[in-house]
């Protein structure tokens, strides 16, 4: 073998060594990368499971209505000659609201009153003549009937005139005025709405299965997004005497204290009725529960210390959940008090996933959440 051939073999061996060596190095680096990225640390939020007192409640959405409310209208037609109220004013029962033109009716009343006075004079005179037996009893009886007819006509005309003045039938707050001075009103035209605001009712429906948990006088709390964070207390006022056959729900009415007149008829409110004795539940935010067809689960945070270093990892476990309250849910089985539970970020987890906990942005865990302007 010549020197030239030996040189060529050496070059080939060097090239092959370089190729296979680079491949082995690349394979080793890939294995190391996969080992470090196969199970990366996942950032989640977590909370500690604790017991809390839980008052069983029946929750529903209801509509507010006034204890007494009416759209006031004229019974007779006429032209508005006077307006005695302002829009949004509080009025007492019997307060005058508007007057309609009534000069013709008043003139007719005066005529009828004159006729009634004449009938009274004739009757009194004939009674004296009857005592002297100057006239018959039949004449006196006729005079009496004429007097009663005249008096009835006077009363009727007074009633007609009274209809020309519209007054508040009960105390309350007036709405927006719907008429103007000089306007002609037809009978039945709405003038203004009048609502008695304190107390105020809230009507809502509950399923028939919950009827046994309700009775008149139970405490009620109502909330509305108009006043975030504010609760209006009251009591159960009445249960409807029949269940709706199409929905199997029953109408329930509660009475709320509305001293400040913050609640108005037509608003909706979330109603909670306390039912049964308070119970003690282990609670978590509802976001902690992972709902699956095969069962509900949560991820527990497990701590492990090796060589003086503490690491966190996820462990999935099945749970049995109970009732909900706002953002919270009761956990009946599967979690113990003091265990740390993942509340967000579960989609990235599996058993053994390393964890880092960051609760700077944690899900809400309020029993009575309220909508705020920032949400």
* pLDDT at position 297: 93
Count structural domains, the chain: 3
CB atoms within 10 A of CB 100: 21
The answer to whether 56 and 325 have CB atoms below 8 angstroms apart is no
Q: What is the CATH number of the domain that holds 199?
A: 2.40.30.170
CA distances from 20 to 10, 15, 129, 162 (A): 15, 9, 151, 114
355: phi then psi, degrees, rounded to nearest 5: -125, 150
Q: 252-299 pLDDT, tens per residue?
A: 999 998 888 889 998 989 888 877 777 888 989 999 899 988 889 999
Q: Per mean pLDDT, which range of 15-24, 128-137, 151-160 is the poorest? A: 15-24
Residue 311's domain comprises: 42-54+279-357
Q: 305-339 pLDDT, tens per residue?
A: 877 788 888 999 999 998 887 788 989 999 999 89
What is the rounded distance in angstroms from the CA atom of residue 297 to the CA atom of residue 272?
29
What is the rounded distance in angstroms from the CA atom of residue 314 to the CA atom of residue 304?
11
* pLDDT at position 251: 93
pLDDT at 32 over 70: no
Averaged pLDDT, 32-53: 75
Residue 21 maps to a domain: no
- Domain boundary among the residues 255, 274, 293 is at 274
* Comparison of pLDDT for 307 and 221, the residue scoring more: 221
- Domain boundary among the residues 274, 290, 314 is at 274
Averaged pLDDT, 148-168: 87
Residue 20 maps to a domain: no
What is the rounded distance in angstroms from the CA atom of residue 350 to the CA atom of residue 137?
113
Q: 54-107 pLDDT, tens per residue?
A: 777 788 899 999 888 888 988 888 888 889 888 888 889 888 898 888 888 788
What is the rounded distance in angstroms from the CA atom of residue 328 to the CA atom of residue 367?
6
* pLDDT at position 204: 92
Averaged pLDDT, 171-196: 89
Pairing of strands 279-285, 50-54: antiparallel
Residue 3 maps to a domain: no
Note if the bond before 189 is cis, omega within 30 degrees. no
Give one word for 352, left, alpha or beta, with left for phi > 0 and alpha for psi -120 to 50.
Answer: left
Q: What is the CATH number of the domain that holds 290?
A: 2.40.420.20
Q: Hey, what are 169's tokens?
A: 């039938």
63 and 205: one domain?
yes
Give one word for 276, left, alpha or beta, with left for phi > 0 and alpha for psi -120 to 50.
Answer: left
- Domain boundary among the residues 185, 216, 240 is at 185
Note if the bond before 293 is cis, omega within 30 degrees. no
Q: Hey, what are 318's tokens?
A: 């099945």
pLDDT at 153 over 60: yes
196 and 267: one domain?
yes
Residue 302 maps to a domain: yes
């Amino acid at each position: 073998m010549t020197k030239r051939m030996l040189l060529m073999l050496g070059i080939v061996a060097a090239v092959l060594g370089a190729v296979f060596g680079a491949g082995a190095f690349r394979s080793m680096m890939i294995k190391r990368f996969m080992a470090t990225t196969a199970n990366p640390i996942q950032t989640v939020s977590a909370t500690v499971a604790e017991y809390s007192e839980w008052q069983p409640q029946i929750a529903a959405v209801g509509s507010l209505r006034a204890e007494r409310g009416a759209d006031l209208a004229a019974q007779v037609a006429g032209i508005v000659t006077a307006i005695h109220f302002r829009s949004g004013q509080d009025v007492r029962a019997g307060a005058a609201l508007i007057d309609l033109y009534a000069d013709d009716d008043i003139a007719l009343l005066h005529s009828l009153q004159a006729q009634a006075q004449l009938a009274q004079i004739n009757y009194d005179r004939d009674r004296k003549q009857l005592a002297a037996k100057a006239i018959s009893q039949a004449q006196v009886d006729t005079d009496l009937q004429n007097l009663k007819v005249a008096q009835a006509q006077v009363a009727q005309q007074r009633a007609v005139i009274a209809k020309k003045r519209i007054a508040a039938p009960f105390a309350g707050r007036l709405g927006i005025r719907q008429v103007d001075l000089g306007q002609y009103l037809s009978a039945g035209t709405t003038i203004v709405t009048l609502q008695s605001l304190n107390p105020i009712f809230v009507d809502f429906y509950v399923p028939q299965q919950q009827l046994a948990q309700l009775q008149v006088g139970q405490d009620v709390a109502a909330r509305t997004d108009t006043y975030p964070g504010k609760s209006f207390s009251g009591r159960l006022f009445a249960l409807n005497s029949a269940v709706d056959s199409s929905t199997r729900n029953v109408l329930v009415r509660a009475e709320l204290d509305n001293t400040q007149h913050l609640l108005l008829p037509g608003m909706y409110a979330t109603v909670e009725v306390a039912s049964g004795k308070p119970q003690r539940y282990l609670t978590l935010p509802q976001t902690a529960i992972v709902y699956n067809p095969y069962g509900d689960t949560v991820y527990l945070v497990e701590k492990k210390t090796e060589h003086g270093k503490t690491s966190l990892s996820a462990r999935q476990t099945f749970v049995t959940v109970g009732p909900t309250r706002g953002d919270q849910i009761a956990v009946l089985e599967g979690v113990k008090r003091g265990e740390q539970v993942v509340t967000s970020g579960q989609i990235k987890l599996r058993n053994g996933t390393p964890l880092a906990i960051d609760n700077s942005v944690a899900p809400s865990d309020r029993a009575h959440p309220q909508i705020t302007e920032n949400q």
